[in-house]
Structure 1
Amino acid sequence: MQALLSFLTDIFSQPAFLMGIIAFVGLVALRSPFNKLLTGTLKPILGYLMLSAGAGVIVSNLNPLGDIIEAGFNIRGVIPNNEAIVSVAQQMLGVETMSILLLGFIINLIIARFTKYKYIFLTGHHSFFLACLFSAVLQAAHFSGWWLIAIGGFLLGSWSAISPAIGQRYTKQVTDDGGIAMGHFGSLGYYLSAFIAKRVGNKADSFADTEISEKWGFLRDTTVTTGIIMVIIYLICSLVAGTQYMKTITELNPLIFSILCGLQFAVGVAIVYNGVRLILGDLVPAFQGISQKIIPDSIPAVDCAVFFTFSPTAVVVGFICSFIGGLVGMFILGGVGMALIIPGMVPHFFCGGTSGVFADKLGGKRGCIIASFIGGILLAFLPALLLPALGELGFQNSTFADFDFAVWGIVIGNLFTQFGQIAIYAICVVLLITLLLPFCFKSVKVVGDTKTLDELNKSSK
């Protein structure tokens, strides 16, 4: 039984396999011929593997930059990292986490089939992270065994369906009704950025629509622009850190190191973009089979990096503004005597970059800059507020990085402290009411429209 549970967890925690399985089921439902069945199943898998490979290149180049900044500016504190805290938690709560993950996905499918929340959450590793958080906080709330798994699975499955729906009106504007939803647990941050940008900016003046003059024509290539900006950032940080420290990082000359890391980072971004195009090219059309035959009107909720292609320049701007906001937030935390949260380059790139895309599409350049900066400050404060609760669980000096994780951890931890287990049951009731409430209003729709493949390809260019 343990071996089967582990095998299923390995599958459902891998977005590539999930996308392939969903695409396969959709194509079978459409009665596609074998050649289309084969290519339509493999391309989403290959696309996500390409996206993951690009993300791996980005992460491998961002991690040393965080260390360089920490040493160069003599900053000591906690760097939020999802993978680090999950690896620790798995040693204590492995079975509970795996069980919550599997049950959560099943509940997500049931919700998509029988309610008006038609979103199928496909970012398996983020589901795994949230399952880990729920297993930890529920154990701290004195739940155990199957009851812990049942509550955790319901929380995960419900939020997997509800979180894409909360901001789908924004997602549709970002993707030009692209037939996809946000499947990433930094979603509340992205929706907040869109909300802020819409009120402070002007979407008619966006980075996505900016025309660059012939004199600066080389900047039209996002890969080149990203490479130049990152080389400058690496070089400045390396100079501040000093030659002696840089010798502990690399044997290369700091200038050569900066150029290589900056350009490798740009290559990683380019790989991500190509992976996204592979995913969009086949997953959404295959999903029409699911939507028509099995789960009517269902929509795939996909990773945040899938949205990068809709405003590539805003990704870089959002990252930089988010990181600056993280630095400001760190200094404010220090000033008020809270734990220092050192800006993690990885969360600020993926979360800040995605916030930049949403903000740019809803509020243009000004909205992108302001909203991403505010989001960066929150990426400092939320993990700091979550840190005490996690410390009590034995996860000292480590905290989750992304928006939704922090919100859920803070809410459950504080409500349990104030009201006990009854607060957890109340949260479940609220989620259940949220799932059932649209049935009371015939006009309420919590799904988005799909588009043809040709329209989708045009909107992603």
Structure 2
Amino acid sequence: MNFLDGISRGVLGEPAFLLGLIACIGLIIQKKGIEKIIQGTIKTMLGYILIQIGASAAGVALGNLSLLIQRGFQVIGIIPHNEVISALAQINYGNYIAWIMFFGMMIHLLIARFSPLKYIFLTGHHILFMASMLAAVLAVSSLDKWQGIMLGASLLAVAMSIGPAIIQPFVRKVTQNDCVAVGHFNSVGFVIAGVIASCFKALPQQQEEIHPPAIKKLKVFFQDHILSTTIFMFILFLTASIFVSRQQMAELFLERPTIVISAMQSIWFSAGVYVILMGVRMLLSEIVPAFQGISEKIVPKGIPALDCPILFPYAPLASIFGFLFSLLGGLVAMSLFILRSNQYTIIIPGIVTHFFSGGAAGVIAYTIGRKRGLIIASFIHGFVITFLPYYLIPILSGLGYVRATFGDSDFAIVGFIVKWILELILGK
């Protein structure tokens, strides 16, 4: 168990260390010089840490935006938040999770080695999230412990192998190559966005950059995605704060003026996005060449599957619009829950989930369907990833009633599959 804890909390629990180790091994296999090995290893880890720093900065701003929305619209419900629900699962089912992760990675590597699915899923925290969801469902079933663990490990491995594969046709259109894939358990959401965007394919002469017609005179601002991101987030914060009372604003932000709060939160968010983009560029420049060494020896023609922010630099502004329209779709889904007048089953959009998954969906949708594809596909994507978690809640009954659930599409889909398999096996 100590060994498995070391894997789940040490190697897989620290994605930067895992990616640095992979880069180091790959460069050693390629017989690179010691200086190149050290440089590649450190830059790979540094790139991922930059992504984490940027995500943290952007996450704080998004968390504050989420608070404004909850306070302003007086909604109480369940928030899709992978980190929170996984932490609760680890408290109760840590042993199950560790074994599912360990055997799941082994089976996943065997699938990559001996099947056409050559994707190596390297997003460690998402492996942990999916293992946590599987453990929460299987640990309370009447299956024998090891039967549950092996079933969970097999499903985890299949999800890690199939997820990147079904997204890759769309990712390939973004990256223009097969050097990298997306390893993020929102593959069904990305596929939905890609398929819908395909209905709005643009002609070659229509391949223009995003410049909203209403503000063409401010074209210079929209050529700089960081400036445009800051402006949009400022407007979003300012609008959300209108619906919050002065007393609540004072409690949340220490009585600072609303315009100052909106300005600083938008700057924090944009700074986070900028750091994420810099980290992604550094990570890809090092991990992809280094991964070739491992690919040649262990998984011939293997493709590293990394977290979805790797798509952001290909269309930075599209990622922001994808987030906004995905969030809008989530708010519409929330409104439908509110109309049902059952406060305990309202799903409040997880803004962090919409930022990362919605942003990547926006890049895919814009690459394929340009403006119209981006708007429609991102909106429907946001609606879907807000609606699906509602149906996952009963499946997670082993965790008791908590105001959190898993946020991305694949968790609900795999949850449905687990429930179906259990009913098939146990006849219930």
> Smaller-chain TM-score range?
over 0.9
> How many residues are paired up?
421
Work out whether residues 211 and 219 of structure 2, in 8 Å CA contact, stay in contact via their aligned partners in 1. no
Moved more, 66-75 or 269-278: 66-75
Q: Check 1:274–1:105 CA distance in 2 against 1; reply closer, same or farther (3 A cut).
A: same
Deviations 1:51-98 (A, max 9, x none): 011001111111121111111112222111111111111111011101
Choose the corresponding residue for 1:231, options 234, 246, 252. 234
Is structure 2 residue 333 aligned with structure 1 residue 329? yes
- Could you say what secondary structure the match of 1:106 adopts? helix
Choose the corresponding residue for 1:297, options 298, 301, 312. 301
The Cα RMSD (Å) is 2.0
- Could you say what secondary structure the match of 2:179 adopts? coil
- 1:183-202 paired onto structure 2 within 5 Å: 183-202=183-202
2:391 corresponding residue in structure 1: 385
Distance in 2 (CA, whole Å) between partners of 1:290 and 1:191 is 29
- Could you say what secondary structure the match of 1:65 adopts? helix
Is structure 2 residue 257 aligned with structure 1 residue 253? yes
Q: Check 1:142–1:206 CA distance in 2 against 1; reply closer, same or farther (3 A cut).
A: farther
- Could you say what secondary structure the match of 1:241 adopts? coil
The structural deviation recorded for 1:392 is: 5.2
Work out whether residues 203 and 360 of structure 1, in 8 Å CA contact, stay in contact via their aligned partners in 2. no
Is structure 2 residue 348 aligned with structure 1 residue 342? yes
Work out whether residues 96 and 149 of structure 1, in 8 Å CA contact, stay in contact via their aligned partners in 2. yes
The structural deviation recorded for 1:13 is: 2.5
Choose the corresponding residue for 2:370, options 364, 369, 391. 364
- 1:53-452 paired onto structure 2 within 5 Å: 53-202=53-202, 204=204, 205=206, 208=209, 216-251=219-254, 252-336=256-340, 339-391=345-397, 393-417=399-423, 419-421=424-426
Q: Check 1:209–1:340 CA distance in 2 against 1; reply closer, same or farther (3 A cut).
A: closer
Distance in 1 (CA, whole Å) between partners of 2:107 and 2:397 is 30
The percentage of aligned residue pairs carrying the same residue is: 38
Query: Which consecutive residues of structure 1, in runs of 5 or more, have no partner in the other structure?
Result: 424-461
Q: Check 1:107–1:262 CA distance in 2 against 1; reply closer, same or farther (3 A cut).
A: same
Work out whether residues 203 and 361 of structure 1, in 8 Å CA contact, stay in contact via their aligned partners in 2. no
2:41 corresponding residue in structure 1: 41
1:5 corresponding residue in structure 2: 4
Q: Check 1:207–1:254 CA distance in 2 against 1; reply closer, same or farther (3 A cut).
A: farther
The structural deviation recorded for 1:150 is: 1.7
The structural deviation recorded for 1:152 is: 1.3
Distance in 1 (CA, whole Å) between partners of 2:210 and 2:40 is 32
TM-score by length of 2: 0.93
Distance in 1 (CA, whole Å) between partners of 2:116 and 2:397 is 38
Distance in 2 (CA, whole Å) between partners of 1:207 and 1:97 is 47
- 1:17-36 paired onto structure 2 within 5 Å: 17-36=17-36
The structural deviation recorded for 1:42 is: 1.4
The structural deviation recorded for 1:215 is: 5.1
Distance in 1 (CA, whole Å) between partners of 2:340 and 2:58 is 33
Distance in 2 (CA, whole Å) between partners of 1:4 and 1:379 is 36
The structural deviation recorded for 1:235 is: 1.2
Distance in 2 (CA, whole Å) between partners of 1:170 and 1:72 is 37
Moved more, 296-305 or 158-167: 158-167
The structural deviation recorded for 1:185 is: 0.3
Q: Check 1:191–1:206 CA distance in 2 against 1; reply closer, same or farther (3 A cut).
A: farther
- Could you say what secondary structure the match of 1:140 adopts? coil
Q: Check 1:335–1:209 CA distance in 2 against 1; reply closer, same or farther (3 A cut).
A: closer
Distance in 2 (CA, whole Å) between partners of 1:288 and 1:319 is 33
Distance in 2 (CA, whole Å) between partners of 1:181 and 1:79 is 28
Distance in 2 (CA, whole Å) between partners of 1:168 and 1:203 is 22
Moved more, 67-76 or 212-221: 212-221
Q: Check 1:414–1:241 CA distance in 2 against 1; reply closer, same or farther (3 A cut).
A: farther
* Structure 2 residue identity aligned to 1:310: Y
The structural deviation recorded for 1:122 is: 0.5
Q: Check 1:184–1:422 CA distance in 2 against 1; reply closer, same or farther (3 A cut).
A: farther
Distance in 2 (CA, whole Å) between partners of 1:150 and 1:416 is 13
Q: Check 1:209–1:380 CA distance in 2 against 1; reply closer, same or farther (3 A cut).
A: closer
Distance in 2 (CA, whole Å) between partners of 1:225 and 1:304 is 22
Q: Check 1:349–1:236 CA distance in 2 against 1; reply closer, same or farther (3 A cut).
A: same
Distance in 2 (CA, whole Å) between partners of 1:239 and 1:305 is 31
Q: Check 1:395–1:35 CA distance in 2 against 1; reply closer, same or farther (3 A cut).
A: farther
Q: Check 1:135–1:359 CA distance in 2 against 1; reply closer, same or farther (3 A cut).
A: same
Query: Which consecutive residues of structure 2, in runs of 5 or more, have no partner in the other structure?
Result: none
Moved more, 298-307 or 286-295: 286-295
Work out whether residues 88 and 399 of structure 2, in 8 Å CA contact, stay in contact via their aligned partners in 1. no
Distance in 1 (CA, whole Å) between partners of 2:89 and 2:207 is 42
Deviations 1:304-324 (A, max 9, x none): 011111111111111111111
* Structure 2 residue identity aligned to 1:403: S
The structural deviation recorded for 1:226 is: 0.8
Distance in 2 (CA, whole Å) between partners of 1:181 and 1:320 is 24
